[in-house]
Structure 1
């Protein structure tokens, strides 16, 4: 099973990009925090200042280090200001994380099956998949921690004789992780290095661990942006950063701590479906055997897992993506467990898991066909439907090939996201940004115009991407904007704020209308009676272009 002939890590990474790509590279779903990074990146392109992040309202934002902003900026520079460009490097970071997991397992274990299964588990991890579809820090943090994980595992494998490449991977990986999200990376990195120095099974000497060139390079990378911001803006930026990292994120209520702790612990297991189910057989005995075989590795896994669960418990609002930094290491441990307990030989159980995901995929495909049959669609959406059907048929035919069942299960999990984009196409696309882009082109709005936006900031971010660098759109506070309207050439107003605008001072035209996700039930019902356009007009979210009179 999982023979070398049938497995390629590059093929698995490519499958990750191809199958997750349609869901990621357009705004089928838009995560709220993406606006912070895409808004700042557009501003960086317009001003040339790539060090200082700004909000869409032109306020400074220092809550996160700079690396995530630069990933969005790099996409914009290479591919233009588009949804695709804002997310492409995050999708590739997700695929790269799978590759680093494979590398780490290959370093630690002589049995190549562990590396292959670890990579398969990581590629089908829903937290990684969802994080790779968003231009927010978490997938970058996961990738950078996966890089440093390879370094940690090199020390566990070779001890004081670890080649220098593992020093570079450890320290540079942690430095990059710190430039992505700050203190969580420092906490995990500090615990990991303390563990290497103190654990009784494979203790590393201080002189061997802290290789000066790698340490200094890591410090320069980790501190660069913070020094630059202090030089330009003084200590005020640090207050905002510390408040985000420690202040507003740390909860102090006992029940909240307990709830988050339990939720983090449970999700850390449940999110490995279906793989953890195969590891339940004799889990106590097998876990003890793994500890006896490689105590140093198991100790690091336990330390990091407990650390991330405890850190997640302390936040005021818990998100499953907070677990991502330790998922690479946990995937390697789980892959090793499944190899050791003989789960690869449970052909009937694996086949049942495959058939379950194939059925789920078929259900998702039918929903997509339903929406696209009754609503305006295009050739590429129907090509996706055909691809999903043919791929499902192929996977079904291969169900009796026991050697490839694990890979087939991973593909079927990834295919769920590919298939889901068929339905979300009708709900979310074209997004308001692309509709406004068409509107300004059709109306020949002069480039360089200053536009005031009054509405939901998440939609405003998509519109800013649609307008690109040719227009200057500023978000105004809906509670206090009247005195500022005269400073702009045009205004763009969400429907619920339209009544606040003096009607005698502006002429209005509908620039965009989208389905409102709150009325998805009404949307589905309207297809039966063939009045979807009327329902969309009545319940959809509208944005009005205002021209001063």
Structure 2
């Protein structure tokens, strides 16, 4: 097997699976997605997603299916919930390398793979039990299959395109169709090839049929089983409303998606100003480069106007950004038409940013009342400016290859430290992990939730938590039970002032505003 590919896959496996078993399912999105998959697995249900026995309409089921497979292999554990997210990351690196090697050159493919495995943001994403890893992989596979079929006249690859977009639609919904439709439409217009004959060559009718055969059965089934409730809430609340209004406190700012994508591929993205000029010229005569540029731009611009945004939203653009940067570095090595001084300036700017990162981390930890004593973890981030400085030295020596290898090696070593040492220490301070000692000592005592409570408790208990919504209902429950625990948030305690409850634990949710409280009746 190709040694460059073996090295990239080994690095991807090491990075994307690093300690996926060693930290708790705690982050809000992870807790709800893993908890939903757990309930479907326990019921043997393949159609209706629920969380805490309530209909969950946030996402379609593909990632739940993969998590169910993980649970069937290793049990209901963080590893079982996350393992296939890591696999999606490894496969993303694989398809980027293979298509890029065929369409450009092996050196460009290797650079693109290096850039992907060096991304902290992607590494975190491929560690999480959420739908985004599946969306990223299937959209990358689908879009690269499309452009390969178009350029190389391998028309059977269009079927891979339609199948992959169908699976992406089962991962996150109509956004996969919208992006793909916009991308193909803009690309064909840019190629001046928007013709009926071309549409027939794209296997439009056969591909649409294949897409519908894959997608429709579940959407029809969930519509029937929930009497249309899932479809209505998913399409209107979780798609239209997320784009037109800020939801769940995830408001953005103009061009937030641009900042997110640039941050995702640091330090390599700092060379994009020079790369953009070259790419703009090359895309006029190279259909593959043009396609990748449009793919990246469509996603970034779309989310630039979204009122709700998370770091994961524009990530389908990241593999194509990596391909363009990989092509740029290959082009520099092959033709050397970029002034080396400009590359050094880019590297110097990144070094300055990298020097600020440890201080930023220190202040962020200081701002969290339950993490102040862990501020020394910021020292791990000193590795980033050290690597940036070493890479700058080699760029000054006109040794671009060694500089890129140093950036990658620094990133991989840092990610190992982050996932195996720094993040586990932070994770141990989350209020769910901190409070479970009370439950472990008294497993016979029932637990209820009052109004809002941390969703990670559902996955920890591996069963639903009885949710009580009013003080009167909680009072009735107290009259019927001698002892029980209540998980809730501090802002709700005032409503229970007349009850005989004792606070046995209180802890702020990590990097969030709510304060988790554990109560026990006296």
Q: Is the TM value for this pair above 0.5? A: yes
Q: Is 1:475 aligned with 2:472?
A: no
2:175 matched to which residue of 1?
184
Inter-partner Cα distance in structure 1 for 2:283 and 2:349: 28
Structure 2 unaligned spans of 5+: 247-251
Task: List per-residue Cα deviations over 1:454-507 (Å, max 9, x = no partner).
Answer: 2653x2x222222124xx41333367753663577733234624454477666x
2:148 counterpart (147, 154, 158): 154
2:458 matched to which residue of 1?
464
1:406 counterpart (389, 398, 404): 404
Q: Is 1:10 aligned with 2:9?
A: yes
Paired residues, what number? 498
Inter-partner Cα distance in structure 1 for 2:222 and 2:281: 50
Inter-partner Cα distance in structure 1 for 2:51 and 2:86: 24
Instruction: Say whether the 8 Å CA contact 2:391–2:406 is kept in structure 1.
Output: no
Q: Is 1:52 aligned with 2:48?
A: yes
Change (3 A) 1:480 1:427: farther
Q: Match of 1:445, SS?
A: coil
Inter-partner Cα distance in structure 2 for 1:465 and 1:182: 25
Moved more, 144-153 or 244-253: 244-253
Q: Match of 2:242, SS?
A: coil
Q: Match of 2:51, SS?
A: coil
Inter-partner Cα distance in structure 1 for 2:363 and 2:245: 44
2:313 counterpart (285, 307, 322): 322
2:234 counterpart (231, 237, 241): 241
Q: Is 1:32 aligned with 2:21?
A: no
Q: Is 1:546 aligned with 2:513?
A: no
Inter-partner Cα distance in structure 2 for 1:90 and 1:79: 15
Q: Is 1:273 aligned with 2:259?
A: no
Note the C-alpha offset of 1:426: 3.7
Change (3 A) 1:444 1:112: same
Note the C-alpha offset of 1:151: 0.7
1:291 matched to which residue of 2?
283
1:74 matched to which residue of 2?
69
Instruction: Say whether the 8 Å CA contact 1:65–1:181 is kept in structure 2.
Output: yes
Note the C-alpha offset of 1:97: 2.0
Instruction: Say whether the 8 Å CA contact 2:293–2:324 is kept in structure 1.
Output: no
Q: Match of 2:306, SS?
A: coil
2:164 matched to which residue of 1?
173
Q: Is 1:262 aligned with 2:258?
A: no
Task: List per-residue Cα deviations over 1:115-151 (Å, max 9, x = no partner).
Answer: 1111122223344233223322222211111111221
Change (3 A) 1:399 1:84: farther
TM-score, length-scaled by structure 1: 0.74
2:249 matched to which residue of 1?
none
Q: Is 1:42 aligned with 2:38?
A: yes
Change (3 A) 1:366 1:40: closer
2:198 counterpart (188, 205, 209): 205
Q: Match of 1:280, SS?
A: helix
Change (3 A) 1:140 1:479: farther
Structure 1 unaligned spans of 5+: 254-258, 521-539
Instruction: Say whether the 8 Å CA contact 2:20–2:78 is kept in structure 1.
Output: no
Inter-partner Cα distance in structure 2 for 1:108 and 1:308: 22
Q: Match of 2:486, SS?
A: strand
Inter-partner Cα distance in structure 2 for 1:101 and 1:61: 33
Note the C-alpha offset of 1:398: 13
Inter-partner Cα distance in structure 1 for 2:155 and 2:512: 58
Note the C-alpha offset of 1:333: 1.9
Q: Is 1:221 aligned with 2:214?
A: yes
Inter-partner Cα distance in structure 2 for 1:261 and 1:38: 32
Instruction: Say whether the 8 Å CA contact 1:354–1:408 is kept in structure 2.
Output: no
Q: Is 1:133 aligned with 2:127?
A: yes
Task: List per-residue Cα deviations over 1:21-76 (Å, max 9, x = no partner).
Answer: 34885149x433333312322322343323212233x3212232112333333333
Note the C-alpha offset of 1:243: 1.3
Note the C-alpha offset of 1:246: 4.0
TM-score, length-scaled by structure 2: 0.77
